[in-house]
Amino acid sequence: MINITIDGHVGSGKSTLAKGIAKALNFKTFDTGAVYRSLACAFREKYTEVNEENINEFIKDIKVQIKFENDLQHVIVDGEDFTPYIRTEEISMLSSVISPYQVLRDKVTTLQRDFARVYNCVVEGRDIGTIVLPDADVKFFITADEKVRAKRRFEQIKDKKDSPSFEEILKDLRERDYKDEHRAVAPLKPANDAIIIDTSDMSLEETIDRCVNIIKEKVSLN
């Protein structure tokens, strides 16, 4: 199987880019963020406090399935599809709080590796090229100026009820960058052999085209 990894900062457009590359190459995508967010939804239904004891109890017997409907990834946790509920700011923040716990990361890593053995795929996240799939065929690290990322996020959600201000989004983004880069478990950093792409001045289409061309240069797709 051909495996492509995409790591990078929050708000850098990893998920959208992964889907664009996968569509261009007729690959599957594994949306890591959606898995963590779905786990956050499931955790919130059972627990009010995030701590090691609750995380260990939560993950012990949990069953997670990845399914596709019309090429859209659905994450099923203990029989419940949380996909419609994972894009709120509350769930986004909770997922960033629970994701550093090793037992939870181990669960997601197993899902990712199982997926990569079955499909030609694009897998995105924060530690895919460094930890999850270190032998991937092509690795990308996607970044952009923090204000550009905050503006993109603001434009996405500004019309929603009670949406945060640009300044609030920028503050949250900076905090999450710091946590991602300094956490003890699998900190955010480019793999040694990753191709770093700064999308600050690139459109989504330009970024997809650049990545697809690089993949075609490095991997035989026949």
Q: Is 219 helix (H, G, I), strand (E, B) or coil?
A: coil
Does 50 have pLDDT greater than 90?
Answer: yes
Vertex 211, ends 135 and 112: CA angle to 5°?
A: 40
Q: What's the pLDDT tens digit per position in 24-43?
A: 999 999 988 899 999 999 99
Contacts of 217 (CB under 8 A, 6+ apart): none
Q: Which amino acid is at 203?
A: S
Instruction: For residue 100, name the pLDDT band (cuts at 50, 70, 90).
Output: confident
Q: Which amino acid is at 202?
A: M
**Max CA distance (Å), the chain:** 50
Average per-residue pLDDT in the chain?
Answer: 91
Using a 10 angstrom Cβ sphere, with 0-12 exposed, 13-18 middle and 19 or more buried, the burial of residue 30 is buried
Give the strand order in the sheet containing 72-77: 64-69, 72-77, 80-81
Residues 64 and 107: beta-carbon distance below 8 Å: yes
pTM exceeding the 0.85 threshold for the entire prediction:
no
Q: Which amino acid is at 67?
A: K
Q: How far is it, in rounded angstroms, from Cα 216 to Cα 25?
A: 9
Q: What's the pLDDT tens digit per position in 125-151?
A: 888 999 999 999 999 999 999 999 999
The pLDDT of residue 199 is: 93
Which CATH architecture group holds 3-31+89-216? 3-Layer(aba) Sandwich (3.40)
Rounded mean pLDDT, 39-67: 94
The pLDDT of residue 222 is: 65
Q: How far is it, in rounded angstroms, from Cα 136 to Cα 123?
A: 10
Q: How far is it, in rounded angstroms, from Cα 22 to Cα 212?
A: 9
Does 76 have pLDDT greater than 80?
Answer: yes
Tell me which of 9-18, 50-59, 114-123, 202-211 is least confident: 9-18
| Whole-number percent of the chain with pLDDT over 70 | 100
Instruction: For residue 56, name the pLDDT band (cuts at 50, 70, 90).
Output: very high
Q: How far is it, in rounded angstroms, from Cα 72 to Cα 58?
A: 26
Using a 10 angstrom Cβ sphere, with 0-12 exposed, 13-18 middle and 19 or more buried, the burial of residue 11 is buried
Q: Is 101 helix (H, G, I), strand (E, B) or coil?
A: coil
User: Rounded to whole angstroms, what are the CA distances from 27 to 18, 84, 107?
Assistant: 10, 23, 23
Q: What's the pLDDT tens digit per position in 177-216?
A: 888 888 777 788 999 999 999 999 999 999 999 999 999 9
Give 163 or 55, the one with higher predicted confidence: 55
